[in-house]
Amino acid sequence: MIGRLNHVAIAVPDLQAAADQYRTALGANVGEPQDEPDHGVTVIFIELPNTKIELLYPLGDDSPINGFLEKNPAGGIHHMCFEVDDILAARDHLIETGARVLGSGEPKIGAHGKPVLFLHPKDFQGTLVELEQV
């Protein structure tokens, strides 16, 4: 069911410092900051030949990444995003397997303008999983 790895997201305490390090130390193709108010984050995408890195920084007081950054003040890998062809079919299948879909259960529009959903990290070996319909 899952296809390509769309992105690996890293929550960071200093967005500009992280972007600068990927640009200068790693020589990566780093995008511009993008506010995502519906998701409570500001993101910067880094384009790699085979996937993307999504740098995440909290936006607003009730950002879903606040707790993660409190526990991991230096930052850390926050989620992986897998592509799916049909997000509603994927969601319904996952619910049947016992996985918990986060939030309302209805897809939101993600940073690429496509529907996304998140699955509880405790149901996936301690890893928060995002699904994006492509």
Residue numbers annotated as active site: 130
Q: Could you tell me the smallest distance in angstroms from the CB atom of residue 109 to ligand MC0?
A: 8
Q: Could you tell me the smallest distance in angstroms from the CB atom of residue 79 to ligand MC0?
A: 6
Report d(CA 72, CA 23) in Å as an integer: 23
Query: Hey, what are 79's tokens?
Result: 């989620």
What x/- string results for residues 79 through 118 when contact with ligand MC0 is judged by CB under 6 A?
x-x--------------------x-------xx----x-x
- 69 φ, ψ to 5°? -70, -30
Q: Which of 1, 3, 9, 124 is the binder for Co ion (CB under 5 A)?
A: 9
Q: Other CB atoms closer than 10 Å to residue 114's CB: what's the count?
A: 14
Contacts of 96 (CB under 8 A, 6+ apart): none
What x/- string results for residues 70 through 109 when contact with Co ion is judged by CB under 5 A?
-----------x----------------------------
Are the CB atoms for 81 and 98 separated by under 8 Å? no
Q: What does the binding site for Co ion look like in residue numbers (CB under 5 A)? A: 9, 54, 81, 130
